[in-house]
Structure 1
Amino acid sequence: MDRRCFAILCHLLRTVAGLTSTEVVDVEEMVAMFLHIVAHDVKNRVIRQEFMRSDETISRHFNMVLLAVIRLHDELLKKPQPVNSDCTDQRWRWFENYLGALDGTYIKVNVPASDWARYRTCKGEVATNVLGVCDTKGDFVYVLVGYYYLVDAGYPNVDGFLAPYRGERYHLQEWCGFENAPSTSKEFFNMKHLSARNVIERALDVLKSRWAILRGKSYYPVEVQCRTILACCLLHNLINREMTNFDIEDNIDEVDSTHATTDVDDIHYIETSSEWTQWRDDLAEEMFTDWELRN
């Protein structure tokens, strides 16, 4: 986050979220402490040394800023805009009225030992499931923390959720080279679907890369950690909006990209829709026919 974006954040927190300076700490300092913690996942003793503040002051102002950032929900959470019929972008033009791509990821949380079983992942980690939906630009339009609209094969193909075909190729490297080009409408649909849906995987990777507090073991109560996840998603959108020259692709660190839908069992308890499945089949045939004519 550059200085301009930092100033905009402080202005929004003052004017929209109602955050005010205290007798000992002004808004800019408390926001700086908050950002230092979430960006670098440092403990209070580090902040105590750098800002010369007590642990109580740090914790109190961290929570003040955290709640204020969440109050920027209406300001920073993007309103989904459907893909128009005249879209020329090759990734999206076939998915008219597409609102967003959906995926889940695990983020570690701190819960009492009695609750470990509820939060235990298939890899043995104690984590909460975060469901995210982002638009074509990688901005979050919906975030749900703690619970299990273009989705991957782990989701059923039901009305409003367009899933790929199961049992068909669904990894970009499988289509590398002319000899590996899609040979059926279902394979071609999966290739275009993955190209479009990849935006949410990239968004989640960027989110974790920007905010180290989402990558390591949490020392905060689960309620605070869940609020922190939401706040980081909102700050992600702010950075994307205000720092338009920032190349997110060149600033993705090596993060443990643990997307939940690749680690949990497929969802079977929601019945697929025959009408929606037929619509997908018709779309796949239309896409494949158009591609064959062009090639």
Structure 2
Amino acid sequence: MLLRICGHNEVQRDVGLRFGRNQETLQKKFMEVLTATELLAGDYIRTPTREELHRITERLQVDRRYWPYFSGFVGAMDETHVCVKVKLELQRMYWNRHDNASLNIMAICDLNMLFTYIWNGAPESCHNTAVLAMAQQSDSEFPLPSLEKYYLVDFGYPNKQGFLAPYRSSRNRVVRYHMS
């Protein structure tokens, strides 16, 4: 039931109907499982160390199509929007072009498609560059790459030391960084 609510964004009423449970029981069991999950999270979820973040994966070194070009690759950075419910007085700040409230979430993945960093807290109206600046200013643990390393980013991010964005001339083409 927890996975249905959290993973599929179903409301408790629908989950209760699916599993034949009333909302009071569902709420109680949901909170019990959520509390147990939070206690287990410390044992199974950990932040990678700086050495792990900058270790070059063997898969990248072995494949000659990528190694000379991606030798400094640390991960890929992008952001997504998550719909949120906010107080009426705050809705204007979180309103997006699709006429609903959302929150920017910036994430960094490594070559193995594992999240190495997630930052949330920017309202929808922020540009990618502003979200990156907010993350760097507010989080002392932001994983800046070392001088010889970089993150692959999209057009919305700056093309500067540690961040590699596509060339401006390739704006009209679909650029894919797929390494399978």
- Give the aligned length: 145
Higher helix share: 1
Shift of 1:155: 0.8
- The CA RMSD over aligned residues, in Å, is 2.9
Change (3 A) 1:88 1:78: farther
Secondary structure of 1:117's partner? helix
Shift of 1:74: 6.4
Partner of 1:59: 27
Instruction: Give the TM-score of the pair, scaled to structure 1.
Output: 0.42
Where does 1:30-41 land on structure 2 (aligned, <5 Å)?
Answer: 33-41=1-9
Partner of 2:120: 145
Instruction: Give the TM-score of the pair, scaled to structure 2.
Output: 0.64
RCO higher in 1 or 2 (8 Å CA, sep ≥ 6)?
A: 1
Query: For residue 43 of structure 1, what is the amino acid of its counterpart?
Result: V
Q: Distance in 2 between matches of 1:82 and 1:171?
A: 31
Change (3 A) 1:53 1:169: closer
Work out which of the residue numbers 76, 82, 86 in structure 1 matches 2:45.
76
Query: For residue 98 of structure 2, what is the amino acid of its counterpart?
Result: K
Change (3 A) 1:66 1:46: same
CA contact (8 A) 2:159 2:165 kept: yes
Change (3 A) 1:171 1:36: same
Query: For residue 117 of structure 1, what is the amino acid of its counterpart?
Result: R
Change (3 A) 1:152 1:77: farther
Unaligned runs of 5+ in 1: 1-32, 173-193, 200-295
Shift of 1:114: 1.0
Secondary structure of 2:10's partner? coil
In percent, how many aligned pairs have the same letter? 32
Change (3 A) 1:53 1:84: closer
Where does 1:115-264 land on structure 2 (aligned, <5 Å)?
Answer: 115-147=90-122, 148=131, 149-169=151-171, 171-172=173-174, 194-196=175-177, 198=178
Which protein shows a greater Rg? 1
CA contact (8 A) 2:57 2:111 kept: no
CA contact (8 A) 1:133 1:142 kept: yes
Secondary structure of 1:107's partner? strand
CA contact (8 A) 1:78 1:141 kept: yes
Partner of 1:104: 79
Work out which of the residue numbers 11, 16, 35 in structure 2 matches 1:48.
16
Change (3 A) 1:166 1:113: same
Unaligned runs of 5+ in 2: 123-130, 132-150
Change (3 A) 1:63 1:142: farther
